[in-house]
Amino acid sequence: MYTSALEYLPAIPEIFLLCAICGLLIIDLFLDQERRDVTFLLSQLTLLTTLVLVVYTHGDAPRVVFADSFVADTMATVLKAFICLIVLAVFAYSRRYLIVRGLYRGEFYVLGLFGVLGMMILVSGHNLLSLYLGLELLSLSLYAMVAFDRDSARASEAAMKYFVLGALASGILLYGVSILYGLSGTLDLVQLSEFLRREGTGNIGAALALAFVVVALAFKLGAVPFHMWVPDVYHGSPTPVTVYIASASKVAGFAFVMRFLVDGLGPLHGDWQDMLIVLVLLSLAIGNVVAIAQTNLKRMLAYSTIAHVGFLLLGILAGTRQGYSASMFYTIVYAITTLGAFGVVILLSRAGFEADQLDDLKGLNDRNPWFAFMMLIILFSMAGVPPTVGFFAKLYVLRAIIDVDLWWLAAIAVGFSVIGAFYYLRAVKLMYFDAPLDDSALEETRGMRVVLSTNGLALLALGIYPSALLTLCTQSLMW
């Protein structure tokens, strides 16, 4: 049967990205260290071109290609666009950090781009196999990136822990997928949903498969009690890798949950809602309470991530379009916020010194009032303080679960958010009311100043006018 080349137009961004990565690999072989900026610039150009192609190939109606394994819909377009923008910022933040530590090598950008390709495949996955392949491409890239600093024992230890636990989670997911395939005889998400709608309720096999899938998803997102890798990986990784994991991969994680639980296992909502409630309560409690005891800034942000994952899952467990759009809004806002937070950590770092302790924030206002203000906006957004966009992100999620009569869960979430505000405000106090431990000037570049300022001010602008992003999220989930 003849297939028109136009049928594969929705996958043009992924095809271009793969070809560009292969070309970048070859070009980098012939570059010496003094010309490594060529790799950096080509990587940024690749992401910009991919972003343009993502927007250009967007269609009004969802399109399914590659034997129904790849879907191009509005949600995929929006999430892919934000993934490209976030990784663009990650690469911009990372350049000076890598140079001063002798890590400015092409492999970092190649692995990062392969991770982007995995995320894009994951976002557009339309059957169980393509979702798994996208997840594994992303995971393998992340394992290598965590161990990128080969001379660091801490990074090697973090990579080993991440690899072992990640492989375990992948195995659990694959086992759940095999059960679903054995029951339904299909890998297609739509056909799987139809099968479960007919015969899934009360099916012991489907319930067992669901349990495996939810456990694997919790591992990948870092939800309690499957969170043990998060603080060690955040702490042990080079900071550019940490920000990559904490921001862009969370956007892909949201898409993974939506494709798997909502599109594929939607008829079992009553079952996975109860599972997610447990994960949410544990994540909010452990994430916020344990973060208070942290003196390491990266570990504090790691436990903060765990708490934010709890909020992310709140909107999804509501099981309504409003809940899904609120969760998507929250995910994008969180990714932008954590991008800025780790951007400040990178800014404070210098050769031979990792600014990964809370005390390193002391007196930041005396050293540089502008960047202290940017960090203030970022921390307020994480805490959910108006007028930053983080306030509205939490508000929309809470409203979604109140609308499905889970007001008691909303009350608990608010309580833990108040607890979590303590460690964010503690960081603000260190910046504005303590004397600096280090009076040296910040080693900022013009690009770093522009990107970090844009990052911080975006959180304020979106807080003043949140409806634009919320409307975009709502319209992208119309079906």
Q: What residue type is 315 in one-letter code?
A: G
Determine the Cα–Cα distance for residues 283 and 82; give it in Å rounded to an integer: 25
Determine the Cα–Cα distance for residues 163 and 348; give it in Å rounded to an integer: 29
CB–CB of 216/222 below 8 Å? no
pLDDT band at 2 (very low <50, low <70, confident <90, very high): very low
Which residue has better confidence, 444 or 53? 53
Determine the Cα–Cα distance for residues 361 and 380; give it in Å rounded to an integer: 15
Q: What residue type is 351 in one-letter code?
A: A
Cis ω for the linkage preceding 387 (within 30 of 0): yes
Element (H, E) at 267: none
User: Model confidence over 38-91: pLDDT tens digits?
Assistant: 999 999 999 999 999 999 988 777 888 888 888 888 899 999 999 999 999 999
**Got the DSSP string for 378-415?**
HHHHHHT-TTSHHHHHHHHHHHHHHTTT-HHHHHHHHH
CB–CB of 208/47 below 8 Å? no
**Got the DSSP string for 314-380?**
HHHHH-SHHHHHHHHHHHHHHHHHHHHHHHHHHHH-BTTB---BGGGGTTHHHH-HHHHHHHHHHHH
CB–CB of 250/335 below 8 Å? yes
Whether the predicted pLDDT of 138 surpasses 90: yes
Q: Which CA distances in Å does 29 have to 22, 32, 54, 115, 170? A: 11, 8, 29, 20, 33
pLDDT band at 479 (very low <50, low <70, confident <90, very high): low
The 3-state DSSP class for residue 444 equals coil
Whether the predicted pLDDT of 263 surpasses 50: yes
pLDDT band at 6 (very low <50, low <70, confident <90, very high): low
How high does pLDDT run on average in the chain?
88
Averaged over 24-33, what is the pLDDT?
Answer: 87
User: Model confidence over 235-260: pLDDT tens digits?
Assistant: 988 889 999 999 999 999 999 999 98
User: Model confidence over 164-196: pLDDT tens digits?
Assistant: 999 999 999 999 999 999 988 888 888 888 888
Q: What residue type is 478 in one-letter code?
A: M
Whether the predicted pLDDT of 353 surpasses 80: no
- pTM, two decimals, is 0.93
Whether the predicted pLDDT of 403 surpasses 70: yes
Cis ω for the linkage preceding 225 (within 30 of 0): yes
What percent of the chain has pLDDT above 70? Answer: 97
Whether the predicted pLDDT of 266 surpasses 60: yes
Q: Which two tokens stand for residue 217?
A: 């998803």
- Say what the pLDDT of residue 37 is: 86
Whether the predicted pLDDT of 339 surpasses 50: yes
Averaged over 302-315, what is the pLDDT?
Answer: 91
Whether the predicted pLDDT of 25 surpasses 70: yes
User: Model confidence over 195-239: pLDDT tens digits?
Assistant: 888 876 677 888 888 899 999 999 988 888 888 888 999 998 888
- Say what the pLDDT of residue 16 is: 93
User: Model confidence over 457-478: pLDDT tens digits?
Assistant: 999 999 999 888 889 888 888 6
Q: What residue type is 27 in one-letter code?
A: I
Q: Could you give the residue ranges of the DSSP H alpha helices within 201-246?
A: 204-221, 229-236, 239-246
pLDDT band at 1 (very low <50, low <70, confident <90, very high): very low
- Say what the pLDDT of residue 4 is: 59
Within 13 A of 287's CA, how many CA atoms are on the CB side?
33
- Say what the pLDDT of residue 435 is: 81
Number of neighbouring beta carbons within 10 Å of residue 453: 15
CB–CB of 265/184 below 8 Å? no
What percent of the chain has pLDDT above 90? Answer: 44
Whether the predicted pLDDT of 368 surpasses 80: yes
Whether the predicted pLDDT of 26 surpasses 60: yes
Rounded to 5°, the CA angle 262-185-132 comes to: 50
